[in-house]
Structure 1
Amino acid sequence: MNKIIALTLLLISQNCFSAAEGNFYAEPVYSYQTTKFDQYNIVTHGVGINLGYEFSPNFAVEFRLGSGLNSDNFLKSQNFRNKFYSGVYLKGSFPLDDQISLYGLLGLAINVYELDFSVENRDIKLSDGSRGFASGFGFNIKQNKSLSYNVGVHYLNDSKSAIDAITSYQLGLKYSF
């Protein structure tokens, strides 16, 4: 309970919103994704875009949208592909110095995937999705006022679908405007 109170006070404090200039940003990303499906760890690659609005240097709202680039034949007769993902996040940043900052993400996400397999010479295609709370963390290195590099990890856990967890390692180039 104390953590919730502390987080609420941080979000509504004068310091958190003191530089409320409203900076938009767009960040194309490349992702390396591992998906836990039963006992299998499936590896795919993807691209996406993160769009956000910074209320201050310490707080932003971010929308993420992306798609898988390839599929993984994790069994000889089964093929897995991440079709797309999206999510809305609150993003808190903690600057270490003028150029480097750490960030954390907390939000809601959805991931839609496709599974192809053959049974008795029939091709079957299933589409399903994982959704729920997602989190992430990473760091940001500023090149100049409008350009920075991001490295991060994003995690979605959904015990209600066939997918146990999706972890995405992302590299991005953020442009602020």
Structure 2
Amino acid sequence: MKRLTLAAAAALVAMGSAHAQMMMPSASQVYGELGYTWLKIDAAGTSGRPSAIRGILGWEFHPMFAGEFMLAGGVNDDNKGVSVNGVPTNVEFELKNMYGLFLKPRYLVQQAELFARLGYAHTKVRAASTNNNLIQGQDQSDNDFAWGIGANYRFNPRMYVGLDWMRYSNQSGHKVDGLTLGFGYHW
């Protein structure tokens, strides 16, 4: 009986150490990410592809969950030629700003992390005619449920790169999606 107990204890210890080797521990529960985001804004009956810089500050409060604050600002506008009632016009798409709060469920395997983001985002975008007044330029601000999926790869316990896709807004006649390539660091 003693041998069986020792064998069971040894098996549990071995399984625990094998599981610990599967996940690369992070240096800290607090992390930051900085990324370049290629956006797609659907508005004014057409779509444009401006870009933004996005920053995230996160806290891993559980091995399978993190909480995040996101802030983004536009860095590159997009112009597109369209026809409004048979009149050609040039439409400029611009991201003014975005911010949000997210819950991040995640799954870790060795150096890889697969995750989802679920939460709230505020977006402020602008679509306007640049060569006439066919499309009135006004800022469109929305608060909406935001969600996305992504993956990270850790080089070491502190640094990682990641790729994710997010739906930031889908309200009031416009939709904002984004694909982000980013770099993260654990303090």
Query: In which range does the TM-score fall when normalised by the shorter chain?
Result: 0.7 to 0.9
1:28 matched to 2:28? The reply is no
Distance change (3 Å), C-alpha of 1:82 and 1:142: same
| Alignment partner, residue 137 of structure 1 | 149
Structure 1 residue identity aligned to 2:149: F
| Alignment partner, residue 149 of structure 1 | 161
| Alignment partner, residue 8 of structure 2 | none
Identity %: 25
| Alignment partner, residue 181 of structure 2 | 171
Q: Distance in 1 between matches of 2:130 and 2:160?
A: 45
Structure exhibiting the larger radius of gyration computed from Cα positions: 2
SS at match of 1:49: strand
TM-score normalized by structure 1?
Answer: 0.79
SS at match of 2:49: strand
1:50 matched to 2:61? The reply is no
Q: Distance in 2 between matches of 1:31 and 1:150?
A: 12
Q: Distance in 2 between matches of 1:125 and 1:38?
A: 10
Q: Distance in 2 between matches of 1:175 and 1:99?
A: 14
> Could you tell me whether the CA contact under 8 Å between 1:52 and 1:62 is conserved in 2?
yes
Q: Can you list the C-alpha shifts for 1:101-158, whole angstroms capped at 9, x where unaligned?
A: 1000100001101233258679953111122100011001011011011110011343
Q: 1:100 aligns with which of 101, 109, 112?
A: 112
Which of the pair is proportionally richer in helix?
2
User: Could you tell me how far 1:85 is from its partner in structure 2?
Assistant: 0.6
Q: Distance in 1 between matches of 2:136 and 2:169?
A: 26
Q: Distance in 1 between matches of 2:41 and 2:91?
A: 14
Q: Distance in 2 between matches of 1:123 and 1:41?
A: 13
TM-score normalized by structure 2?
Answer: 0.75
Q: Distance in 2 between matches of 1:106 and 1:153?
A: 12
Question: 5+ residue gaps in structure 1?
Answer: 1-18
Question: 5+ residue gaps in structure 2?
Answer: 1-24, 82-88
Q: Distance in 2 between matches of 1:110 and 1:50?
A: 14
Alignment root-mean-square deviation, CA: 2.4
